[in-house]
Structure 1
Amino acid sequence: MCREPTSTNVAVIGSGSWATALVKIFSENLPKVGWWVRSEKIASHIQRFGRNPSYLSSVGFHVHRLDIRAELSSLIRDYQIIVLAMPSIFLKDTFQGVAHSLFKEKKWISSIKGLLPDDTNLVSDYLKTACNINSSDIGILSGPCHAEEVAMERLSYLTVAFNDISQARFIAGTLKRPYVSVCVSDDVMGIEYAVVLKNIFALAVGMANGLGYGDNFQAVLISNAMQEMASFLEVFCPQTRDINRSSYLGDLLVTSYSSLSRNRTLGYTIGKGCAVSEALSEMPMIAEGFFATKGVINLIGNDSLSMPIARAVYKILYEKAPAGEVFKHLHKFLS
């Protein structure tokens, strides 16, 4: 039987924009929130000035509500609900040296928006296999939601998914604010994959925009991307789901068209003619779609699951195919 959380003892791991936004939400609802940041310097700055010096610095915190630490093991030991909010590329290094015995009897919520680099593992797979965490203790937190809009307290939407819907409802209660609406789901793997896929498709939309394709083409591109997402989910995590809900379609839309989307921005830069390596070096933050593209293509291989948009992005990113030529070929597969 799944164990339900018994307290609102929440800690966030990460010090980027999304982690900062989540700490803002939790700290407005809870008397104390644990927060792991990557260095003592950052921890000291937040403690002294009530602001993250590097991300969303406009957000001011009541520091008496924050338990800020740069040492991870003690944070995990002292908190029961752990929210992961860092780029996937840093997850393994972050956990290096932390005793797995500390991971037990906790609820783990991944708000990481990508696959682990160099393999095809979801974050939840890594937590289960490498950290020996029960699948019933792992949840997913997704959007559609930009950290920057949380900072401005613009109306935003989150989805919490656990296998046991009662656990999802409990976590949702810690996140609801006048400017944050929260939905719940039991489609843990489906939503986690949807978060991965929408970043790949946002890269494609950005590329199309950079290449000069108009709104008509981009609308068709996104609608076909939604079909690719649905086909992928049917194969890799079959379950009854409404693909038109905000955690699937809504998250895809906002990541594809928003100027705040780092994946769309990376795609746009490449579409304008910038080399992939140069475009990546110019990004101030991690665009998860870059790593996710390779992982997803490795997953589907030469399977009958065609996914022409995802394969087109892969050709541009990893085979150095000219974006213009790839898109001239791609549009023949769209309808």
Structure 2
Amino acid sequence: MKKEFLKFIKNYIKENKMSVITIIGAGMMGSALSFPASDNSHDIRIVGTPLDKDIIEQAKLTNYHITLKRYLPDGIKFYSDNEMEEAIKGSDLIIGGVSSFGVDWFLKEVLSKIPNSIPVLSVTKGMIDLGDGNMLTYPEYYRKYTNPYKSLNAIGGACTSYELADKDNTHVCFCGDDINVLRILKRMLETDYYHISISQDVRGVESAVALKNIYALAVTLAVGISEKKEGKGVIHYNSQAALFGQSVREMMKLIKILGGNEENIVFGAGDLYVTIFGGRTRKIGVLLGKGFNIDEALDTLKGVTLESVVIAGRAATAVKELIGKNKIDRKDFPLLLHVDDIITNKAMVDIPWDDFEIEREL
């Protein structure tokens, strides 16, 4: 066990004390974690990024979060980004609450300011393409450019921010290198509605929940196709289920290729399930299914953060690199490659249904 965490672990176990948790990034998911943190009687600080000024200003006045559309728990202290170092002082845990578009900002402006003795728990989902057929999860990306003794952990699983804030039963997985740190993080945040598994398979958990954004876009193509044919509000579940099944098959193969344990599909599939029912990824999937090309869809959703488009491009680039090296078979990823064709080549939606069929003899 790293020496930096011995004192942290011993003190927490000995005292089981109320802790100071600082959430950096005032987005919806990071802020939603203030609910289980508050229910465990911790002191909570929320620090906005440079893009969170309106959120922080309103929260300071009324405790209301303007994008989560919920009042946050009482007693939270709010800080602007230029007050971040003050907010970090005395913290027992830092939660990274930035979106995937804030990863480099978090790496450059935040991680270097966090003492090695304070664990970091990131909510950000996504991966970095290395250009050689391999990809890094965000914790691995952070690790590559930070002190090797820094405790970098992450959250994966099916969790929508507004339902966590409403205390609907939720099951996630905390992943990181040190199982003892993970056990303490679980004790700090677990409640009767926020249920936490822990795993040292960072790559498996994080790749599973990152990949789901690609496939949530893919599944919701069927919603757009149905609406184009029969009008808004008409939904066909057979086609969605078929795309969901193919998505899970391809995700399992990708998790294994990336070096993760396939059993982590439980977190990716659950996350896929919640993502197809709403949010930004559903919006672009529906537009594409209705016949918009990618440029038209992006223009319609101008100003909306679309992580699904980014991760789809990165994953497809890695897969095509491996196909070119004859390390994997193109026929194993028809849905991913069709999504890539839609995004990269502006192709219109034409689901390759026949390519999903398999024949297996015992």
Provide the TM-score with structure 2 as the length reference. 0.80
Structure 1 residues 95 and 244: alpha-carbon distance in aligned structure 2, compared to 1, 3 A threshold: closer
Counterparts of 1:200 and 1:170, CA distance in 2: 32
Residue 242 of structure 1 is matched in structure 2 by 263
Residue 58 of structure 2 is matched in structure 1 by 45
* Superimposed CA distance per residue, residues 98-126 of structure 1 (whole angstroms, 9 cap, x where no aligned partner): 57264533312221122358975421122
Contact 1:263 1:289 (8 Å CA) reproduced:
yes
Residue 336 of structure 2 is matched in structure 1 by 310
Counterparts of 1:101 and 1:111, CA distance in 2: 19
Shift in Å at residue 295 of structure 1? 1.0
* Superimposed CA distance per residue, residues 120-153 of structure 1 (whole angstroms, 9 cap, x where no aligned partner): 5421122112223447x22120221111212322
Counterparts of 2:136 and 2:264, CA distance in 1: 22
- Larger Cα Rg: Structure 1 or Structure 2? 2
Counterparts of 1:86 and 1:58, CA distance in 2: 19
Q: How does 1:102-251 map to 2 (within 5 A)?
A: 102=114, 104-116=116-128, 120-134=135-149, 137-212=151-226, 214-239=236-261, 241-243=262-264, 245=266, 247-251=267-271
Shift in Å at residue 244 of structure 1? 5.3
Counterparts of 1:238 and 1:144, CA distance in 2: 18
Shift in Å at residue 316 of structure 1? 0.5
Q: 1:254 aligns with which of 268, 274, 292?
A: 274
Counterparts of 2:45 and 2:205, CA distance in 1: 26
Contact 1:141 1:159 (8 Å CA) reproduced:
yes
Does residue 292 of the first structure (1) align with residue 311 of the second (2)?
Answer: yes
Structure 1 residues 289 and 134: alpha-carbon distance in aligned structure 2, compared to 1, 3 A threshold: farther
Residue 57 of structure 1 is matched in structure 2 by 69
Which stretch of structure 1 is more off in the superposition, 20-29 or 223-232?
Answer: 20-29
Provide the TM-score with structure 1 as the length reference. 0.86
Contact 2:153 2:176 (8 Å CA) reproduced:
yes
Counterparts of 1:244 and 1:117, CA distance in 2: 20
Contact 2:287 2:297 (8 Å CA) reproduced:
yes
Identity of aligned residues (%): 22
Q: Residue 310 of structure 1: SS of its match in structure 2? A: helix
What stretches of structure 2 of length at least 5 have no aligned partner? Answer: 13-18, 227-234, 358-362
Which stretch of structure 1 is more off in the superposition, 94-103 or 10-19?
Answer: 94-103
Q: How well do the aligned residues superpose, as a CA RMSD in angstroms? A: 2.6
Structure 1 residues 305 and 49: alpha-carbon distance in aligned structure 2, compared to 1, 3 A threshold: farther
Shift in Å at residue 42 of structure 1? 3.6
Counterparts of 1:215 and 1:70, CA distance in 2: 45
Contact 1:83 1:111 (8 Å CA) reproduced:
yes
Shift in Å at residue 56 of structure 1? 1.6
* Superimposed CA distance per residue, residues 299-330 of structure 1 (whole angstroms, 9 cap, x where no aligned partner): 2224224322111111101210111x3x1xx2
Q: How does 1:272-291 map to 2 (within 5 A)?
A: 272-283=290-301, 285-291=304-310
What stretches of structure 1 of length at least 5 have no aligned partner? Answer: none
Q: Residue 23 of structure 2: SS of its match in structure 1? A: strand
Residue 264 of structure 1 is matched in structure 2 by 282
Structure 1 residues 116 and 73: alpha-carbon distance in aligned structure 2, compared to 1, 3 A threshold: farther
* Superimposed CA distance per residue, residues 75-97 of structure 1 (whole angstroms, 9 cap, x where no aligned partner): 34543422212211122134445
Structure 1 residues 57 and 130: alpha-carbon distance in aligned structure 2, compared to 1, 3 A threshold: same
* Superimposed CA distance per residue, residues 40-96 of structure 1 (whole angstroms, 9 cap, x where no aligned partner): 5543421221112x312223331x343534223443454342221221112213444
Which stretch of structure 1 is more off in the superposition, 65-74 or 143-152?
Answer: 65-74
Counterparts of 2:113 and 2:53, CA distance in 1: 25
Q: 1:100 aligns with which of 112, 117, 120?
A: 112
Residue 25 of structure 2 is matched in structure 1 by 14
